[in-house]
Chains A and B, each alone.
Chain A
């Protein structure tokens, strides 16, 4: 089935089964390997992307659900103003260790700060509660997101 959607601002089209996993299409058909696969079952958040601005785990999204929608991946947001502020804060704030969870964390942070630019610590913790990180214990990720929030004009 021919499936059209908007990927990081560009109109794209693939011919695939509508129940293919979005993550595979992103990583294998489009080479967007910034989206990571950590569990394949919606638990870890490493595969997080935005579907029409909403946070989703791309390992669970059937490609067909993206028809006519907009998908934003880490590659799409990293050079936006908000994206680069978050990434800068992560890099300065010690938020990144092995890095495998980080693109997903950045997407979650981006999603949070887009709708709530000045969250409380609890709101930050809630926003990333679906992103498992085994390295950092989360504290420096949380403080980096709060730092990004302060740096938003």
Chain B
């Protein structure tokens, strides 16, 4: 039996009672279930359609100043909201094409846990959390902890992702790099996407914070605090000397199975490019 929920309460109750699998935009599930012209898509088990649960559609700052993005927010909505950090906006704006972006949700992108999913990259780099809701209460965890691996997450069978929370950071970062290599120039699945962010101290001399994540080069999005620690606390002027050690260390983190030479080389080249650009302390903050 397939269900449609019209409120969060109803959705959580149905989920609890039936364990029915959640469908949001359906852009992953309808594809894998389709059987062609005139045929009912085939799902394993019951489904619960939550696309009418309006409570999960908001973007806004919470009481602690953190940005909350409802799980049903679509890529189009995220791409068009200036409160959202640029890398996440950019990633959302390059998912699929117009129609896809009107349906694909952020909750679905995370829960789907595809290594080629575009939103986890920036979310990992931003230390974003997921809020998981159930009739029995809510829990939060880092997106990077929530996603376990290829198509695997910590979602319990009575839970629904309620929101994604991006911690408060003054004006986010000083420099953000985000670049997606797609299969073509639009309407493209990611072959490799790299997100990087650098926060400088007040004097713009020292790297206070550094983040680096890469998608589509392993079973899940890759990020390593160890690699990042190679850069944190270092002088901006030293960035270019850090290219080689960072590249080398990050190269050990990623695990591309297909096209390994391409993915490794392009990742290294993007790190080198970002560091050399930031070392010049340019005006532009967002780099592709």
The chain A residues found within 8 Å of chain B, CB to CB, are: 1, 17-21, 24, 27-28, 37, 40-43, 45, 48, 51, 54-57, 59-62, 64-65, 67-68, 108, 111, 126-127, 129-132
The 5 closest A-B pairs by CB, nearest first: A130-B97, A129-B186, A64-B4, A64-B49, A65-B51
Let me know if B138 is at the binding interface, CB within 8 A: no
Chain A residues, Cβ within 8 Å of B39: 24
A59–B38 Cα distance when bound, in Å, is: 10
Determine if B49 and A65 form an interchain contact, defined as CB atoms under 8 angstroms apart: yes
Determine if B52 and A67 form an interchain contact, defined as CB atoms under 8 angstroms apart: yes
Chain A residues, Cβ within 8 Å of B98: 55, 108, 111, 126-127, 129-130
A55–B186 Cα distance when bound, in Å, is: 16
Q: Do A40 and B36 contact each other (CB < 8 Å), given the known contacts A60-B31, A67-B52, A126-B186?
A: yes
A61–B40 Cα distance when bound, in Å, is: 12
Determine if B97 and A41 form an interchain contact, defined as CB atoms under 8 angstroms apart: no
The chain B residues found within 8 Å of chain A, CB to CB, are: 2-4, 23, 25-27, 30-31, 33-34, 36-41, 43, 47, 49, 51-52, 76, 96-100, 102-103, 186-187
Determine if B99 and A130 form an interchain contact, defined as CB atoms under 8 angstroms apart: yes
Determine if A65 and B187 form an interchain contact, defined as CB atoms under 8 angstroms apart: no
Determine if B187 and A130 form an interchain contact, defined as CB atoms under 8 angstroms apart: yes
**Which of the residues A37, A54, A59 comes within 8 Å of B30, measured between beta carbons?**
A59
Determine if B97 and A21 form an interchain contact, defined as CB atoms under 8 angstroms apart: no
Determine if A129 and B97 form an interchain contact, defined as CB atoms under 8 angstroms apart: yes
Task: Give the interface SS of chain A, mostly helix, strand, loop or mixed.
Answer: loop
Determine if B43 and A42 form an interchain contact, defined as CB atoms under 8 angstroms apart: no
A116–B282 Cα distance when bound, in Å, is: 34
A61–B102 Cα distance when bound, in Å, is: 11
Chain A residues, Cβ within 8 Å of B30: 21, 42, 59-62
A127–B71 Cα distance when bound, in Å, is: 25
Chain A residues, Cβ within 8 Å of B38: 24, 27-28
Residue of chain A at shortest CB distance from B26: A62
A43–B31 Cα distance when bound, in Å, is: 10
Quote the shortest CB–CB distance from B231 to chain A (angstroms).
Answer: 35
**9 contacting pairs across A/B (C-beta < 8 A):** A21-B30, A27-B38, A55-B99, A55-B102, A59-B30, A60-B27, A60-B30, A60-B31, A62-B23
**Which of the residues A56, A64, A67 comes within 8 Å of B102, measured between beta carbons?**
A56
A27–B27 Cα distance when bound, in Å, is: 20
Q: Do A41 and B34 contact each other (CB < 8 Å), given the known contacts A55-B98, A130-B96, A130-B97?
A: yes
Chain A residues, Cβ within 8 Å of B3: 18
Determine if B26 and A61 form an interchain contact, defined as CB atoms under 8 angstroms apart: yes
Quote the shortest CB–CB distance from B53 to chain A (angstroms).
Answer: 11
Quote the shortest CB–CB distance from A108 to chain B (angstroms).
Answer: 7
Chain B residues, Cβ within 8 Å of A1: 2, 4
A22–B236 Cα distance when bound, in Å, is: 54
Determine if B26 and A17 form an interchain contact, defined as CB atoms under 8 angstroms apart: no
Chain A residues, Cβ within 8 Å of B186: 126, 129-130
A14–B122 Cα distance when bound, in Å, is: 42
Determine if B41 and A19 form an interchain contact, defined as CB atoms under 8 angstroms apart: yes
**Which of the residues A17, A18, A28, A43 comes within 8 Å of B187, measured between beta carbons?**
A43
Residue of chain B at shortest CB distance from A107: B99
**Given A42-B27, A60-B27, A60-B103, 14 additional A-B pairs, CB 8 A:** A17-B2, A18-B3, A18-B49, A19-B41, A20-B40, A21-B41, A40-B34, A42-B31, A51-B102, A54-B76, A62-B26, A108-B98, A130-B97, A130-B186
